[in-house]
Amino acid sequence: MASRKPAPGKGRVSKGSPKSGRTRKRASQGGGGWLLRGLGAAGIAIGFAFGLGLAQWVLEIDRVVVERFEGRRFSVPSRVYSAPLIVYPGTDWQRVDLSGWLLRLGYRQQPEGGQLLPGRYEWLPGRLRVHLRAFDHPLRPELARELEFRLAGGLIDKIEDARTGATVDVVVLEPEPVSAFLGEDREQRDLIKIESVPNHLIGAIFAVEDKRFEQHHGIDLQRVVGALMANLKAGRVAQGASTLTQQLVKNFFLTPERTLSRKLREAAMALIVEARYTKREILQAYLNEIYLGQRGSTQVHGVGEGARLYFGKSVSNLTVAESALIAAIIQSPNRISPHRRPELAQARRNLVIDLMFEQNRISPRHHQAALDEPIRLAAISRESGQSRYFLDALSQQLPDVYDTDVLRTEGLRIYSTLDPRIQRSAARALRSGLERIEAQLPEPADPAAPLQGCLLAMRPQTGEVLALVGGRDYGASQWNRCVHARRQVGSVFKPFVYVAALEPGSGPQVTLADFLDDAPLELETPSSPEPWRPENYDHEFRGPVSVREALERSLNVPAVRLGQRVGIARVASIAQALGVSSPLPLVPSLALGTAEVAPIEIARAYATLANGGRRPTPRMFVDVVEPGGLATENRPLQGSVPVLDPGAAYLAVSLLEGVVDRGTAVRVRAEGMRGPIAGKTGTTDDEFDLWFVGFTPELVAVVWVGFDDPAPVGLPSSRGALPIWTDFMREVVGVRVRGQFLRPSGVEPLEIDPETGALALAGCPRRSEEVFLRGTGPEQTCPAEAVAGQEEKPGFFRRTFGRLLGRRP
């Protein structure tokens, strides 16, 4: 019988056999190698995955960095500037607020004995010396120059160049920053190029924030170790180690929370930024990004805007001490604010100056001079909320290419027509006037729906809007009543009826010597089965009244009669030609102002009269300048469009002067105002809307008062809107108005008998001067019999048709 082979693994080997040990060892080695090989493969896979994830993380960070650095780094709100202040010999320097202009623009009092540097001024007995800064504008640049204003009797008597002694006829002063189109973050910055930054400002920032900026690669390990030791010793976070690059990264890309992951991301981004960009590019971005404090609710970022906030000057003009102060407050701008904590700010400024000296960044002489220099801060000019109404109207007038996003991000410079002094006067006059009216009301107004108003001032020759206050409080209501509120205009519309009758285009219907019948009148209207019976304000009738008296006393019935004679369609056409763009209903009551029109339209129409029949276009800006200095939108001062005979316009102005001298607006004279002033009151039914429009040769201003939800105010316009206008004009132009309304060659003055309208010849007992379009004077003369005291009996024709023609029999 054949023997069997042992089954595998079942050979007869003793436990102590060497073979058995070797067999177990080989088995053991085979199993452990497999495990090590498995672990190694897993480690490689894990490492690969980690490396891949890290690479993706780094690439994502790199993408974010590149997009921000090579795209639009900063959102720069477009800044709006006022119209420049123009002064000349004869200017009332107190009325134009020359001293206030110096403060608002950041000019500072010159210390005794020092050199008068740009941006400094010095008040001397009877003189003002000021070193004007250069004003950079692509169309109207002004060089820096030192001027001396000689003052006498409240006026500028003479202007001289302080260096040459040459007489200066006119000085155009730098426009004031008015406001800005801020984004949701409400950040304001003035972008600068690093070439314009003085070395001592860069040195001051290096000295206190990152003295090895030029040596490290984004992270300063030496500073990290030093900060760690200092913090361990203090038992708290007493010292930071962030470089300028890390600060930039934190502000550019990251949120402010303090976590390990954010610190790692900050470090990685700092290394990438340093690897991709030059130190010069990094520093310029930092100088434009760093937070430096608040101007009201607006955040100030960058050294360019910071220099203007604290010192009212461009960054290139900072002194060593001023640069040190800006560097000093970077650590905590609100805690170290020199406006709120001047002692703390000065102590830290001096620390920075000492560090600059210790690091050999300034000389011993500059070190001591900087320590000795007192802190001189510019006055903080906070934005007035009332200018927001103007800003809203401006944004709507800008070309469509400048949409909201562009205005908030592209850093445009918009040169507006706003006169800050006139704007402040308008806001004060409207606010105090509304409060005065409310004090006279029998019951207080609902606080949720208070009495409202608006005031708009315009230059009639150019249409430039110099002031616009669209309500009593922008914070409570942004509705711009000057531009958008269409309200019944009442009697301020009546002059358009008279202009339609005086205009010679279709043959004048009346002259200023004619009479209109103030007697009961009935008119059929398609909207009512009953005839319309217009009445005067006092419900009285006066019989025949002169054209001049009818408008001066704002009589309704004569205006309606004249409107019917001329034709309502003709009246509407004239109003539209003058500048009214709202729909005008062709009904008899249009003559009394039942149409709803916006105040800016009324201002334009009256400006056309004041401008000799040439219609201006209301405008809020002149130039738009893009960051590169290119004036992409330029609207130079252009002539207005002729729409009305100059003679007819002058006759209308003469009528409106009479309203102020003898009529419903005589309160203007009672308040002491003298000189050429014309105007018209307007009060709608039940005193829902109070209007006054008045003008001088150089300024048109319209005031409206009422409730947003129409309700009786309880006063006529002569006691409501007119006093607001008078307060405003007294503050803006004074009690004595300069200039005159120029009479065109097509108008001639003639003496007439005011009782009959006849031409007054020698010996006529009653005579007054009246103006006429040339060749339209009275045909009848004051009779010689009247001189002898005998009354002339009217002839048959005049007795029969006198009333029909509107002439007194």
Which tokens in the block code for residue 118?
């740009």
DSSP assignment string, 68-121: HHHS----B--EEEPPPEEE-TT-BTTTTTHHHHHHHTT-EEPPTTS---TTEE
- Other CB atoms within 10 A of residue 257 CB: 7
The residues with which 692 forms a beta bridge, in sequence order, are 681, 703
Please tell me the number of Cα atoms within 13 Å of 90 on its side-chain side. Answer: 3
Q: What is the residue whose two structure tokens read 């429009």?
A: 693
Cα torsion 23, 25, 28, 34: sign? negative
Cα 363 from Cα 353, distance rounded (Å): 11
Contact by Cβ (8 Å): 718, 665: yes
Cα 533 from Cα 530, distance rounded (Å): 9
Q: Which of 381, 491, 554, 718 is catalytic?
A: 491
What are the helix (H) ranges across 277-319? 279-289, 302-311
Q: Is 681 helix (H, G, I), strand (E, B) or coil?
A: strand
**DSSP state for residue 341 in the 8-state scheme:** -
- Other CB atoms within 10 A of residue 114 CB: 9
To 10 degrees, the CA torsion angle through 670, 671, 672, 678? Answer: -80
Which tokens in the block code for residue 273?
């930024």
Cα 379 from Cα 370, distance rounded (Å): 21
528 catalytic per annotation? no
Contact by Cβ (8 Å): 663, 552: yes
Closest CA to 603 of 581, 587, 632: 581
601 catalytic per annotation? no
Which tokens in the block code for residue 25?
């060892």
- Other CB atoms within 10 A of residue 667 CB: 17
**DSSP state for residue 762 in the 8-state scheme:** T
Contact by Cβ (8 Å): 414, 81: yes
Element (H, E) at 353: helix 342-358
The residues with which 132 forms a beta bridge, in sequence order, are 145
Q: Which of 146, 148, 187, 209 is catalytic?
A: 209
Contact by Cβ (8 Å): 209, 244: yes
Cα 706 from Cα 486, distance rounded (Å): 12
CB contact set of 564 (below 8 Å; sequence gap of 6+): 523, 588, 591
Cα 336 from Cα 329, distance rounded (Å): 6
Q: Is 518 helix (H, G, I), strand (E, B) or coil?
A: strand
Phi first, then psi: give them for residue 245, nearest 5 degrees. Answer: -65, -40
Cα torsion 293, 299, 305, 310: sign? negative
Q: Which residues are catalytic?
A: 209, 491
